[in-house]
Amino acid sequence: SAVISQKPSRDICQRGTSLTIQCQVDSQVTMMFWYRQQPGQSLTLIATANQGSEATYESGFVIDKFPISRPNLTFSTLTVSNMSPEDSSIYLCSVDQQGEKLFFGSGTQLSVL
């Protein structure tokens, strides 16, 4: 199993500012996934972050809005840039184990005023 420490757990931000979310994993993993969960909705994959290469973004998500860093095999950050109220969501990082089950951080609940 993998244990993921995600922070912050929640934040309230002003429109136009940026927030960086961090995820630290207790073991080395190849891929890390970043998800967004809008209120009352399911999880939508934002991007897949591989160490040593550019993140792969899903349709509808762009690097300028959601830059991702993956400096090593245990750490990643997601930045939500130039925030608007529409960005209010829960953001979750996850890793997979042997390409099968996913382990999740506890999530970051973001509210943008």
Partner 1 sequence: SQQGEEDPQALSIQEGENATMNCSYKTSINNLQWYRQNSGRGLVHLILIRSNEREKHSGRLRVTLDTSKKSSSLLITASRAADTASYFCLGTSGSRLTFGEGTQLTVNP
- The residues that touch partner 1, with contacts defined as CB under 8 A, are 4, 6, 31, 33, 37, 41-45, 48, 90, 92, 94, 96, 99-107, 109
The smaller minimum CB distance to partner 1, of residues 13 and 45, is found at 45
Least CB distance to partner 1 at residue 89 (A): 10
Least CB distance to partner 1 at residue 59 (A): 9
User: Around 40, how many Cα atoms within 13 Å sit in the side-chain half-sphere?
Assistant: 0
Least CB distance to partner 1 at residue 82 (A): 24
Bridge partners for 20 per DSSP = 79
The smaller minimum CB distance to partner 1, of residues 82 and 111, is found at 111
CA separation, residue 58 to residues 5, 23, 68 (Å): 24, 20, 13
- The phi, psi pair for 70, rounded to 5°, reads -145, 75
Displacement of CA 106 from its chain's centroid (Å):
11
